[in-house]
């Protein structure tokens, strides 16, 4: 693909490589919420489109807000290069967020409330991320809202089970963001590396809590792939910083797999699903497929 062209610039702005992880994050909540509904499982396509619109529109809004900073620090981006007008980015972001909120609200007023909270975190992060270190928290909360949105959208209510994947994503994104803030530098400071690694491990452990409470002997299975990838992230992909951040971004769906892989086996053990049930297949295959696809798409356009 022509890296000087507009299509490449739009894909880079959208952070297209991270889009599969959004579907995976939403999917955790969808599957956990669908289990007790008593009806036939159906994938909420409108809710998925809403989640994708929130993510992509948030990236366009972020690049619009960073357009002056990017002139000096990220001149390869579309706005500093003059490929698009800043008002186009702002207009697209606002329109995408508005459509996303409408689609989410079609799944119930509670889903509409969650989407409004998510949009609030997007706005807060965009507003403060270049001025405040604590901006990594609203960044993480944006991702944490996705499993909650998926759960509420299909279940119509809330429960404690949706909080485990949400909390795990919050910790993981905070850890990732601590490294990403140093992307324009040669190296991440040692104290930031240590804090990031501790948060990454905590994210995996929190994600495993739900299946571990249900069946301890099975609940640990999903942790294997996650911790193997984390080892690679802090060894083979530890530097340069952009490569480290890209590896961590690709690993986001593996946080979901820590929960979903053992939960699928537990559901099958108790006769809640069978091996040919769509819920079982999605739980087992969605996160790893999202991981592989995200890594492949990083070759198409940068993930950051």
pLDDT at 196: 87
149/270 Cα distance (integer angstroms): 26
143/138 Cα distance (integer angstroms): 9
Summarised one tens digit per residue, pLDDT across range 231-244 is 999 899 988 888 98
pLDDT at 188: 65
Q: What are the residue ranges spanned by the domains of the chain?
A: 17-297
Summarised one tens digit per residue, pLDDT across range 241-259 is 889 899 999 999 999 999 9
Query: Residue 85 — φ and ψ, nearest 5°?
Result: -80, 150
Are 79 and 63 in contact, with CB atoms under 8 Å apart?
Answer: yes
Q: Which two tokens stand for residue 169?
A: 């994503």
pLDDT at 225: 96
Q: Class assignment of domain 17-297?
A: mainly alpha
Asked if the peptide bond before residue 2 counts as cis, ω within 30 degrees of 0, the response is no
Are 53 and 99 in contact, with CB atoms under 8 Å apart?
Answer: yes
Helices (H), 19-108: 19-34, 45-65, 67-73, 78-81, 86-105
Are 227 and 204 in contact, with CB atoms under 8 Å apart?
Answer: yes
pLDDT at 139: 94
15/303 Cα distance (integer angstroms): 5
At 275, is the secondary structure helix, strand, or coil? coil
pLDDT at 38: 56
Write down the pTM of the prediction.
Answer: 0.94
Closest to 111 (Cα-Cα) out of 7, 30, 216:
30
CA 86 to chain CA centroid, Å, is 26
77/133 Cα distance (integer angstroms): 23
pLDDT in tens, the chain (304 residues): 667 789 999 999 999 999 999 999 999 999 999 986 656 889 999 999 999 999 999 999 999 999 998 888 888 899 999 999 999 999 999 999 999 999 999 999 999 999 999 999 999 999 998 888 888 999 999 999 999 999 999 998 888 889 999 999 999 999 998 877 665 555 667 777 788 889 999 999 999 999 999 999 999 999 999 999 999 998 999 888 889 899 999 999 999 999 999 999 999 998 888 888 899 999 999 999 999 999 999 999 988 8
pLDDT at 28: 97
- Angle in degrees, 0-180, between the axes of helices 278-297 and 241-250, rounded to the nearest 10: 160
């Amino acid at each position: 693909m022509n890296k000087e062209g507009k299509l490449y610039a739009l894909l880079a702005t959208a952070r297209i490589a991270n889009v599969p992880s959004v579907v995976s994050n939403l999917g955790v909540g969808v599957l956990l919420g669908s289990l007790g509904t008593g009806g036939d499982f159906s994938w909420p396509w409108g809710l998925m489109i809403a989640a994708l619109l929130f993510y992509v529109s948030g990236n366009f809004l972020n690049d619009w807000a960073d357009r002056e900073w990017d002139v000096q620090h990220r001149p390869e981006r579309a706005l500093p290069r003059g490929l698009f007008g800043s008002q186009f980015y702002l207009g697209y972001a606002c329109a995408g967020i508005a459509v996303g909120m409408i689609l989410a609200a079609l799944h119930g007023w509670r889903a509409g409330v969650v989407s409004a909270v998510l949009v609030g975190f997007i706005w807060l992060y965009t507003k403060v991320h270049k001025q405040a270190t604590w901006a990594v928290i609203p960044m993480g909360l944006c991702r944490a809202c996705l499993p909650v949105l998926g759960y509420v959208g299909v279940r119509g209510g809330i429960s404690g089970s949706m909080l485990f994947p949400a909390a795990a994503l919050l910790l993981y994104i905070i850890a990732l963001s601590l490294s990403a803030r140093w992307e324009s530098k040669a190296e991440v400071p040692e104290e930031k590396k240590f804090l990031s690694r501790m948060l990454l491990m905590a994210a995996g452990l929190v994600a495993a809590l739900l299946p571990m409470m249900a069946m301890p002997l099975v609940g640990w299975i999903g942790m294997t792939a996650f911790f193997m990838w984390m080892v690679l992230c802090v060894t083979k992909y530890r530097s340069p910083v952009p490569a480290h951040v890209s590896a961590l971004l690709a690993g986001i769906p593996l946080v979901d797999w820590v929960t979903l892989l053992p939960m699928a086996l537990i559901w099958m053990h108790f006769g809640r699903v069978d091996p040919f049930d769509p819920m079982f297949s999605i739980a087992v295959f969605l996160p790893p497929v999202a991981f592989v696809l995200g890594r492949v798409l990083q070759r198409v356009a940068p993930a950051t």
